[in-house]
Chain A
């Protein structure tokens, strides 16, 4: 808060400052409360015949080891199983994925000095797609654990390939934000063509599975998907928050950053690695969920300004909330994958952001 603190004792400035802080806190509180409420809705209102209070009782009961008798209390037995094994892991993943993707989006936008960058700008998504589609189309079944684990590990490895290529290239040439995006585009071209190649040579059902994976869905997630994502997201986000004041410097552009003593080139590589691992840990379980990483930080910046020390944590909670809401809609109203809902919500927001944006859009666009 040092930079924005008033340097002289001026009532107006202090009031303005307090107003800013209040706005930031309000947004944070709204999104955190929203998260809790939506988690409630997710686990509660989606199971027929189970009321809100009953659902909380079930959660509490589960923690205290209450068991229900299948056959006489079938509904409670299923509700307990559903809430505990499906709704809660789903909600947890939504929160982790939303937070992680939003943090990565903020990171990329600052590092590339491009407000339209997102976690997928360097081709991560296409690499992950390639890995997952290779696993799905060679016929590994969704029904066995080996199959699911195969898709996840494939996607994870695939997601890291673009970063590796970028790092290899960056040792040879000076990688500017512009070349990073361009090389990302080229990598995407290549991987997407491989994906298309596999897709057009397979049968219709496998094609559909692979297509649905690409869109991003929380269907079928269980607690077993959570631990890796949780650890990576928590550690990664902590790093992003810790780096946020440096991000402020980086987003001023290369020259300014260097004059302020930041080794921008290495910093950029560090951020790239961090972001790749965080994103890979999420999308290898969920598929490519778009727009969270770009829309959440933008909404936050409109309200709280551009200081990354606030933008990062608030974006994370807004991102989590966005995905939770999208998932709630996906689960209760439209039987669609969450990625589609997110695209339907995100693309118009993106459109509006673009049409009303006055600032120039950075080096490439």
Chain B
């Protein structure tokens, strides 16, 4: 064999390699085909709630009456058809009246399917024996007092936060994956609950993706409704809490309503104040999860700066937008990773830290120092702020707003809302104080904690 044929061979190898790399690149580029969820609205997502507000009440009955009498157009009130039979008549009024009275009936709920499209599912009212999956949907459900209606869970990640689920069965899954074994445990749980009508519903956080087609088929064969919401988003979390609270009966309905009202109050107050900001006063924000994973442009986390009147950094820096295209997060490759991007005004690090902390200073120092070397030489190091991702969504926004616009909001202002939430008795917060809940902390807090 002469050299030329070796070179040909090498050429062939290189070509194959290039094809492989090319194919990989095409894959990577063709990536994000995640369809964004259609707007669900921030109201109560229950059919019969004709006016789309937060409650099911006489107003809704009046609207339905008006539609029956021909005073209002059916097409203006798509949610008026409470029993989803296509007709607006007295039966719909009967359903709404039953729901207002808290009597057993069947209710139709607007939620998402696995592709993020809006669908309607049928649930027995009042809903009980629920199995939730995914932290982002567990939390709002617990805040409205759903803990006692949980029959089983696939994983428990935050012991204090999830204390109210103790009566439930551990199905031995993990926070993201459901194994065949966990699924078999779920089947057994449903069989055990036969006399109570089986599992009432499966609640799924839209960002938790590992629910295979075959498992969904099992659920639909057994007529177990799947209620899915993208509740990682702070605004969608409000309607999630409201709707799930409504479904479990009158007590949780009241909790859900007050939770939603308080949340909207915070949200609206923030909107009111940041409305006045000029474009050049708006701060830019880079979001992080897990300390050093940079949130990519289309990640859910990048929605939150917009809610507090700030701008996700990628919108102002095209080089950054190119580097961090995608809808997940990516790890910083080294301490230089953000060297060119430290003109971002704020670095918001989203961390989930359980409530019921006893050594707050220790916690702050530990969290801050764990990956400090990635940040400490950036110009905006002093504007790195950790926000506890386990808090109710509106409070997360409040603490974020307080960090980003200290002239408009203060941490005391946000603390006031947290205290109000504690006082209102949203289950996981009962018995907690401002000292046992890690809310947000920045450089100054770290220095103070270090002593």
Contacts and interface: CB of A to CB of B under 8 A. Distances in A.
Q: Do A and B form a real pair? A: yes
Contacts of A70: 198, 221-223
B28 A204 contact: no
Contact of A141 (B23, B209, B215): B209
Contacts of A190: 17
Nearest to A78: B187
A139 B207 CA distance: 12
Interface stretch (A109-117, A206-214, A276-284): A206-214
A74 B191 contact: yes
Contact of B172 (A198, A203, A219, A335): A335
Interface in A175-226: 190, 194, 198, 200-206, 208-209, 212, 218-220, 222
A220 B27 contact: no
A202 B221 CA distance: 36
Instruction: Count chain B CB atoms within 10 A of each CB in A144, A148, A203, A205 and give the residue with the most.
Output: A203
Contacts of B210: 142-143, 209
Contact of B190 (A49, A74, A148): A74
Instruction: Count chain B CB atoms within 10 A of each CB in A141, A143, A165, A204 and give the residue with the most.
Output: A143
Interface string A118-156: 000000000000100011001101111100100000000
A270 B210 CA distance: 39
A46 B181 CA distance: 9
Please tell me the size bucket of the interface on B. Answer: 35 or more
B327 A139 contact: yes
A173 B333 CA distance: 41
Given A86-B184, A139-B32, A206-B328, A194 B16 contact: no
A172 interface: yes
B194 A82 contact: no
Contact of B293 (A47, A161, A204, A222): A204
Mostly helix, strand, loop or mixed at chain A's interface?
Answer: helix
B212 interface: yes
Nearest to A169: B9
Nearest to B6: A172
A8 to B, nearest CB: 51
A268 to B, nearest CB: 18
Contact of A203 (B24, B182, B218, B293): B293
A11 interface: no
A363 to B, nearest CB: 20
A220 B191 contact: no
Contacts of B27: 134-135, 138
Contacts of A48: 188
B198 A71 contact: yes
A294 B129 CA distance: 48
Contacts of A142: 209-212
Nearest to A207: B331
A4 interface: no
A143 B213 contact: yes
B290 interface: yes
A220 B214 contact: yes
A164 B209 contact: no
Closest 10 CB pairs of A and B: A75-B191, A74-B194, A203-B328, A78-B187, A138-B31, A74-B191, A203-B329, A222-B214, A172-B9, A143-B114
Interface of B: 1, 5-6, 8-9, 12-13, 16-17, 20-21, 23-24, 27-28, 30-34, 114-115, 172, 176-177, 179-184, 187-188, 190-191, 194, 197-198, 209-216, 218, 221-223, 289-290, 293, 326-331, 333
Given A143-B216, A168-B13, A220-B212, 11 more contacts: A74-B190, A85-B214, A138-B30, A139-B33, A142-B212, A143-B209, A144-B213, A145-B213, A165-B16, A169-B13, A203-B330
Interface of A: 46-49, 70-72, 74-75, 77-79, 81-82, 85-86, 90, 130, 134-135, 138-139, 141-145, 148, 161, 164-165, 168-169, 172-173, 190, 194, 198, 200-206, 208-209, 212, 218-220, 222, 331, 335
9 contacts: A130-B20, A134-B23, A139-B326, A165-B13, A168-B16, A203-B293, A203-B328, A204-B293, A208-B177
